[in-house]
Amino acid sequence: LQLKATLGELFLRSGNPLAKTLVQWPELLDLNSGRVNATANLTLAAGSNAPSVDLNLTGKGLGGIYDRSELSGLDTRLQFKLARQRFDLAIQELKIQQANPGLPIGPIEARGRYSASLASVDKGQLEVNLARTALMGGQVTLTPGQWDLAAGNQLFPIQVRGLELQQLFALYPAEGLAGSGTLDGDLPVRLGQKGIEVENGQIAARQPGGHLQFSSEKIKALGRSNPAMQLVTQSLEDFRFTTLSSSVDYDQHGKLRLAMRLEGQNPAIENGRPIHFNINLEEDIPNLLASLQLTDRVNEIITRRVQQRILQRNTAPKEP
């Protein structure tokens, strides 16, 4: 039996019939705009109940929400083959103008393929030929390579180049924080059971360094309340740094730890006497994103998922 089907051009604005037909449609993906064309042929060998499928799909200007990120301007060309209980997905083109989980990431580009058996869909072979995105004025790139996801958590080397502190501070929800400087870094990302983690990543500002300005009423009050802090808050009001470098660690619960070295001076303090900081900084990324998303006027679907995610995080058994 040979069945050749050409899916007419489909405008997703009119609702997403694909989501109702394809049983494997990712539950967290709502597409609500753009055009999809697909041609598929389905052959069912006599006597076997497992059909083999060969699907070519192109998408143009797709948009919508995946999990808690708004996606826009998504173009893709992909080929999906299913035969003898194994599938092979080849992504010839994937461009996402912007993915926004609380901060704007993109444009993103990716090319690669993934194949696995239907029995263990998440334990397949992944090949990445291209995976990079623009971020805060810089580029974040995954080194192309091949990974066998069945072999436990794998190393995904990520390079960060040319990230602008100015844009990072503009996006970061902290009052009175500004500055300039360009960061480069290398982050060894691992894919664990419960999510991604980074061990002993490195990030540092390019020479000649940059500028930090951190002053707000709250910070000044903090300085007044405690003499030791006074020097810290005053020096950071106008800090010219020559060195900013940090180790980066991120665990599967979303905890980011930076052990930062900051060297520079504030011309107004002891007329520019050198000041060296060792700062251990801890940030909770899910909280950061939840906070960004909540104040970001995101729409209803994401807000509902923020709540579900909070529910899961709090009811998950606490590790010792």
Contacts with other proteins by CB under 8 A lie at 173, 231-232, 235, 263, 270-271, 273-284, 287-288, 290-291, 294-295, 297, 300, 303-304, 306-307, 310-311, 314-315
Q: Which is nearer to other proteins, 49 or 278 (CB)?
A: 278
Question: Minimum distance from CB of 311 to other proteins (Å)?
Answer: 5
Dist. CA 97–CA 86, nearest whole Å? 32
Question: Minimum distance from CB of 246 to other proteins (Å)?
Answer: 12
Number of residues assigned to the chain: 320
Q: Which is nearer to other proteins, 49 or 280 (CB)?
A: 280
Question: Minimum distance from CB of 281 to other proteins (Å)?
Answer: 5
* Sign of the CA dihedral with 185 first, then 102, 318, and 123 last: negative
Q: Where are the alpha helices (DSSP H) in the chain?
A: 17-21, 165-171, 217-225, 227-235, 285-294, 300-315
* Sign of the CA dihedral with 64 first, then 70, 73, and 75 last: negative
Q: Which is nearer to other proteins, 193 or 315 (CB)?
A: 315
Contact indicator for 153, 191 with CB cutoff of 8 Å? yes
Q: Which is nearer to other proteins, 23 or 228 (CB)?
A: 228
**CA 140, 98, 171, 301: dihedral to nearest 10 degrees?**
-130
Question: Minimum distance from CB of 29 to other proteins (Å)?
Answer: 18
Question: Minimum distance from CB of 151 to other proteins (Å)?
Answer: 36
Q: Which is nearer to other proteins, 194 or 273 (CB)?
A: 273
Closest residue by Cα to residue 173 from 293, 261, 282 = 293
